[in-house]
Amino acid sequence: MKPSERARRSWKRRYLVLGAVGLVFCGIGFAVWDAARTLEVERELETVFKTQARDGWNLTPEGTNAVRVIGARALPVVLKWSSGRKQGWERHLERKLIKWGWIGEGPLTVQQAKARMVVSTLGEEAIPAVPTLVGRLESKDAGVRRFAVQ
């Protein structure tokens, strides 16, 4: 092999590695951007429920309008809120925190009630969430199945 051919192959490998590293960074960047966007929408919804809800989840007409402005961007948050009890280590930690009195057991049902309000407010805009909810009908957790039906 000639030295120039060897150098060309070496540069080709470097470009491939550089391209792969670039793709990994793009993937990580997209994941962070998506998580930040979802967190922002979740904060917007929580603000609406804090300021425009009668008893924590029944929205006033102004709150309904605020949810409609958020629109379909709220669907990932609604699916997160409606997912039911945590599994694995998250559930174990939650049980310990409840046992020690650091958190109450109610927030999950409040989140599910909020999710129901958002879905009922969005109406036809919530249709993309239907396949995920249908999939949750096969869950082992009765609470998850009950929410999916509702």
CA atoms within 13 A of residue 26's CA, in its CB half-sphere: 6
101: helix, coil or strand? coil
CA distance 140 to 124: 28
Query: Could you say which DSSP state residue 45 is in?
Result: H
pTM for this entry? 0.60
CB atoms within 10 A of CB 115: 24
Dump pLDDT digits (tens) for 47-78.
888 888 777 667 888 888 888 888 888 888 88
CA atoms within 13 A of residue 147's CA, in its CB half-sphere: 29
- pLDDT tens, N- to C-terminus, the chain (150 residues): 566 777 778 888 888 999 999 999 999 998 888 888 888 888 888 888 888 877 766 788 888 888 888 888 888 888 887 776 565 666 677 677 777 776 655 555 677 778 888 888 888 888 887 787 778 778 777 777 777 776
